[in-house]
Amino acid sequence: RFNFILLRENVGKRKAQIAAIRRSSGDLVLNVDSDSTLASDVVTKLALKMQNPEIGAAMGQLTASNRNDTWLTRLIDMEYWLACNEERAAQARFGAVMCCCGPCAMYRRSALLLLLDQYESQFFWGKPSDFGEDRHLTILMLKAGFRTEYAPDAIAATVVPDRMGPYLRQQLRWARSTFRDTFLALRLLPGLDRYITLDVVGQNLGPLLLAFAVLAGVAQVALTATVPLWTVMMIAAMTMIRCSVAAFRARQLRFLTFSLHTPINLFFLLPL
């Protein structure tokens, strides 16, 4: 019951999506990345969420299928849990999930058809955009007046990077998309809930303020040969509070080890 569309050349994810959407006929379109595996009830769970005609898109919960491979895949699996069950779940309370992720996202086809021309013609620095498809399509949905939702019981497992090099390249792509499409979303914010505005502003200013704190600490060490104890203690305290809350909410002690992600964030992700 499937039709496979074989394009003559590799035109990228966005144009492949558009080709499939234009050839589709169902009311709902499911996007699944090629390295993802869906639980058997994902379509049912997402379709139930999409019964409300005001909802244009809904995403499921992501896990790492190769979680047990390395220490990094274990950290990324916890990172995905936090992103889904804290960030996306909070945004879904206001019908405004800011990014329906590619491994498992369902869209209303009638809404997609209204947005395909805008989606296809996005440019970045004068060139057709070849990254950030998921976030941009979600922002277009919100701009068109549709709600975007999160279904925590629709589980999708995806392959995550098991080495630092590929992980940092992935994070760079995502950071570009986040900052670029946040500017597109700024005009949306007055029409959304004030808590969403606080969330979006905090997500973008938070890393910049943390980077400033780290730079100030490095400068203190270089200029005065003293350790910035207050900065170190504050970052450590924030890390332990967040990890403890996650461990309590997930009922899994493994989230206490997510504190190991903090040095990666400080010394790799922020400079990147």
pLDDT at 6 > cutoff 90: yes
Quick one: which of 272, 270, 268, 172 has its CA closest to 212?
270
How does 258-272 read in b/e, with b if 16+ C-beta sit within 10 Å? beebbebbbeebbee
- The answer as to whether 4 is a domain residue is no
CATH number for the domain harbouring residue 39: 3.90.550.10
Is 75 contained in some domain? Answer: yes
Averaged pLDDT, 130-154: 93
Would you state the pLDDT for residue 104? 95
* Token representation of residue 183: 């500017």
User: pLDDT (tens digit, 9 = 90+) per residue, 71-96?
Assistant: 999 999 999 999 999 999 999 999 99
Split at pLDDT 50, 70, 90, the class of 115 is very high
Q: Residue 259 domain-assigned? A: no
Measured in whole angstroms, the distance separating CA 39 from the mean position of its chain's CA atoms is 20
| Residue 148 falls inside a structural domain | yes
Domains of the chain: total: 1
pLDDT exceeds cutoff 90 at 192 = no
Phi then psi for residue 53, to 5 deg, are -65, -15
Residue-level pLDDT at 152: 96
Task: Please give the Cα distance from 262 to 149 (Å, whole number).
Answer: 29
Range of the domain at 121: 13-206
- In the block, residue with structure tokens 């898109």: 57
- By percentage, how much of the chain surpasses pLDDT 90? 74
What does the mean pLDDT of the chain come to? 92
Contacts of 102 (CB under 8 A, 6+ apart): 13, 31, 32, 33, 133, 134
- Asked if residue 176 is part of any domain, the answer here is yes
Q: In which band, very low, low, confident or very high, does the pLDDT at 182 lie, cut at 50, 70 and 90? A: confident
Residue 130 lies in a domain: yes
Q: What is the pLDDT of residues 213-270, one digit of tens each?
A: 999 999 999 999 999 998 899 999 999 999 999 999 999 999 999 999 999 999 999 8
Residue 116 lies in a domain: yes
Q: What is the mean pLDDT of residues 163-170?
A: 96
Identify the three-state secondary structure at position 252. coil
Q: What is the pTM of this model?
A: 0.91
Q: Which amino acid is present at 93?
A: R
CA end-to-end distance (rounded Å), the chain:
45
Please report whether residue 223 resides in a domain: no
**For residue 189, is pLDDT > 90?**
no
